[in-house]
Amino acid sequence: MPFLVLPNQFERRAELFHQLGALLSAGLPAIQALEHLAKNPPARAFRRPLLRVLERIALGDTFSGALRGADTWLTVFDLSLIEAAEQSGRMDSTFKMLAGYYRDRATLARKILSGLSYPILVLAFALLIFPLDLFQGLFLRGEVLPFVLHKALFFGLILGVPILIMSLLQQKTAERFRSGIESFCRPIPILGGTMRDLALTRFTAALGALLSAGVPVLGAWEVASRASGSPRLIRTIAGFAEGFELGKTPSELVTESGEFPDLFCNLYASAEISGQHDQTLERLHAYYNGESIRKLSMLAEWTPRIVYIAIVIYVAFQIINFYTGYFSNIGNLS
């Protein structure tokens, strides 16, 4: 998976899944669909991974097994859905669902980046100029090199910390770090709810596909928890095995865990009684997907405003600090 996924990469991935779904819906076999896309991919970067997948299929691997073994760009969420779709025979609809999922993410990512571009530029300019005493003391006296080194170190720290966090979040061995980030963000308004709804969006989609494919219940829940990307859900569902052995149902374990919202607990309990797991999980997926999009839109709207407020506070503090020192020096001289 790339170090940093940009909106156009989400869009290209959505287009790839859309084309796969369209070709399969038209009755084209999966291998021929892959061969066509390998020759005419929506992005040049997809050609080599698709050729590796075709090579593994030629050696006797399954469609989903080839995707998993070819070390492609796909996430655990993608692979879980594709594997379940292959078993249930719903490949075309699954690829179309993945296309819609990534297209929504691309739209929201563009909205967030567009809103943040100007305030980040203003913030960078403010950090470059302030503090005024450093600007006056070094740069205006002609001591450019110390000023540049000071600012380079400062901006290096500001940029280095987010890059380090992003790098650690993508390491397969950084489960404890991802868990800490999730626990830290959970109480933060909007952000915590957004992360939970995104995890439940992926979880309900994967669980519905796996159960429809006939995967055993406990195995389906464990795989869906990994597809969710949430360390809390993974830990919670890993503890379900003992409850299953005691004869408890998933709805009882979900309610006892306290990790799932009441809506999920209630609807899933009704689904166990009525046997309508597919319809219930589709409804839950649609609900949490809509909630995550709504909250991400709120983040996209409010994050630039928070950055502007931070800039105003920072500039005001620096100006007050400068003039306080200025008048203090005048007083000492007089």
User: What local confidence, expressed as pLDDT, does residue 143 receive?
Assistant: 60
Q: How many CB atoms lie within 10 A of CB 294?
A: 12
Same domain? 88 vs 120: no
Residue 106 lies in a domain: no
Q: Are 191 and 300 in contact (CB under 8 A)?
A: no
pLDDT digits (tens, 9 = 90+) for 231-259: 889 989 989 988 888 888 999 999 998 88
Q: How far apart are CA 194 and CA 296, in angstroms?
A: 7
Same domain? 138 vs 187: yes
pLDDT digits (tens, 9 = 90+) for 32-59: 888 888 888 888 888 888 888 888 888 8
Residue 268, domain extent: 112-334
Mean pLDDT of 164-178: 60
Same domain? 169 vs 39: no
Two structure tokens written together for 130: 């302030």
Domain CATH number, residue 46: 1.20.81.30
Mean pLDDT of 21-41: 88
Q: What pTM does this model have?
A: 0.73
Same domain? 220 vs 185: yes
Cβ neighbors of 239 (< 8 A, separation 6 or more) are: 257
Same domain? 173 vs 315: yes
Residue 34 lies in a domain: yes
pLDDT digits (tens, 9 = 90+) for 173-194: 556 667 777 788 788 888 888 8
Same domain? 58 vs 169: no
Mean pLDDT of 146-173: 65
Q: Are 194 and 292 in contact (CB under 8 A)?
A: yes
Averaged pLDDT of the chain: 80
Q: What is the largest CA-CA distance in the chain?
A: 90
The total number of structural domains in the chain stands at 2
